[in-house]
Structure 1
Amino acid sequence: MPLTSLTGDATETAAGPRAARRVAELGGRARVCGLYDSVGAPIYHDLATHDDPETRALLAAVRSTPGPVLDLAAGSGRFTMPLLAIGREVTALDLSADMLALLRNQLDRTPASMRARCTVVRGDMSRFALGRSFSHVLLGTTSLSLLNESGRAGLYRSVLAHLTEGGRFLLTVMDRGDSGGPDETAVRVTGSGGTVYELYEHWPAGADSRTVTLLPADPPQDGSPVTVCTDRVAVLDLARLEEELAASGLIVTTRLPLSPPGERHRVTLLTTEASR
């Protein structure tokens, strides 16, 4: 559910100069898409991993208290599938039909007992009404940044309406660390299917958004189209987020840093509870 899916001429949508040059080399072969649409969703899913610090931290937090879990912006199941694997009942909500189709495909390959504990809902995380309560509501890294201020306010209201007494809203937020570094970075990453991608990120210090551009590291040489995924995501300041949460009636009880010191990306897991 991207804030902005960048479309149009590929060389214009790649925000950083290195990404722009790389995409320009493809010329008319570049097929530009968003990370969460029908073309980009399978690539996003290929890169998503269940074995990462964020997932492990969320699973550890959820294990401490029984009860059903609501996974917001669930996508293709990055958190949903591990939660089901540890025996939890999960409602997975996402706005993207393409991402939820990938989740359903995964569920179809699981045992019936596991599928029975999962409810898949297409819905907007900024306003939802599910008619039940949850002991935990989860929202993963960058997802909150996909909403504007009004959307975040609606999210907080909806979360509060769905928490059980003593329930917790667990969310992770990513901001830029203090390590400095270049405005644009480029790395090679390998998806679960073995495909190697070039991942460019343009994130100037102090900017209110960052742009990610993703394409195959070794595109075919036969002149066929090459998929280029690019999306711009807002950057939400941690202090401002905590102020918003408090004003909405959600009090931060713990802050768990998930990134090593000096990392470009500083990810923090916040545990919140209703102030009532």
Structure 2
Amino acid sequence: MKTTPERAIDPILEALEGGGPPRVQREIFGIRLYDQIISRDLTEIPEIMAAVRETHGPILELTSGSGRLTRSLSPLGREMSVAEADMTGPKLEETYGCVVLGASYATLLEPRRRKKLFREVNRCLAPEGRFLMSVVNADHRAELEVINRGATISQLDQDSFFVTVESRDALNGALHVSMSHISFNEHGTYRSSEYTSDIAFVSTELIEEELSAEGLGVLERRPITVDPETAGIQELNLWVCAGNQQGQTEVEDRP
């Protein structure tokens, strides 16, 4: 096996020059790869669909990505809109009966962006509407301060696969993910791209405080079935939220 010469030299030159591809370009590549990886993952979809069916009126899906969740929501036959989590672009004036944010995306946002998200969701949520959000319970503390997971190799398609290495710093509540995407072409050459992320796990108490500060309350937390092979996730829940006027004194946790 051999590398393509003109591609192999690029990272070397970038390292020598102290540069690299533009940040936006790297993010786009990473987002596309992530969408491809999770496209066949059904985690959280059954639980989200069950909760959506309990609501009425238009649906707003946040961070729809490649349409993994959209494909399940569309057959419901309800009016649907999509928007990014940072609510950029034209203001959403519609009143939605259900706002959905999957993939535990809220916990990946910086506090300022997360608060803005909650504020905008509350503004465009119908009086009886529901905000559905999947959240990783980061309050679990592992016995070891650092948990390392061996490399996982997964095939994306006939000519490419990726290698994922994850380690969790339980003491600081963070997950480090390193992913190598390797693709082959018809002439026996290959190209490898590396992506790394440090993900901070946000405590559920903090998320609840931020929701409340922006006018939202948690009605209940429903358990989401998680693939045993998923690293670093010991508990995943679907939070069913509403305006504070509909909130209750004690949050219901479903078994």
TM-score (norm 2): 0.73
Higher RCO structure (Cα 8 Å, ≥6 apart): 1
Q: Take 1:252 and 1:53, find their aligned partners in 2: how far apart are those partners?
A: 21
Q: Structure 1 stretch 169-178 or stretch 191-200: which is displaced more?
A: 191-200
**Matching residue of 1:162:** 124
CA distance in 2, matches of 1:150, 1:225: 37
1:94 CA drift (Å): 2.4
Change (3 A) 1:92 1:44: same
Q: Matched residue of 1:53: which SS? A: coil
Compute the TM-score of the two structures, normalised by the length of structure 1: 0.68
Q: 1:226 aligns with which of 172, 188, 192?
A: 192
What residue in structure 2 maps to residue 64 of structure 1? 54
**1:88 aligned residue (73, 78, 84):** 78
Q: 1:190 to 1:54 in 2, by over 3 A?
A: farther
CA distance in 2, matches of 1:49, 1:138: 17
Would you say the 8 A contact 2:175–2:232 is kept in 1?
no
After TM superposition, the structure 1 = structure 2 runs for residues 146-185 of structure 1, keeping only pairs within 5 Å, are 146-176=108-138, 177-178=140-141, 180=143, 183-185=147-149
Contact preservation (8 Å) 1:189, 1:196: yes
Please identify, of 34-43 and 160-169, the stretch whose mean Cα deviation from structure 2 is larger: 34-43
Cα contact 1:47–1:192 (8 A) shared by 2: no
Q: Is the 8 A contact 2:217 2:244 kept in 1?
A: yes
Identical counterparts, % of pairs = 26
| Structure number, greater radius of gyration | 2
Structure 1: gaps (5+ residues): 1-26, 96-123
The equivalent of 2:102 in structure 1 is 140
Amino acid at match of 2:120: S
Secondary structure in 2 matching 1:243: helix
> Is 1:245–1:251's contact at 8 Å kept on the other side of the alignment?
yes
Where does the alignment leave 5 or more consecutive residues of structure 2 unmatched? 1-10, 246-255
- CA, structure 1 residues 67+275, in 2 after alignment: closer, same or farther (shift >3 Å)? same
> Across the two proteins, how many residue pairs are aligned to each other?
222
Q: 1:190 to 1:260 in 2, by over 3 A?
A: same
Contact 1:71 1:90 in 2 (8 A): yes
Instruction: Name the structure 2 match of 1:49.
Output: 39
In structure 2, the residue matched to 1:243 is: 209
Cα distance in 2, alignment partners of residues 199 and 59 from structure 1: 29
Q: 1:52, 1:147 → 2: CA distance?
A: 23
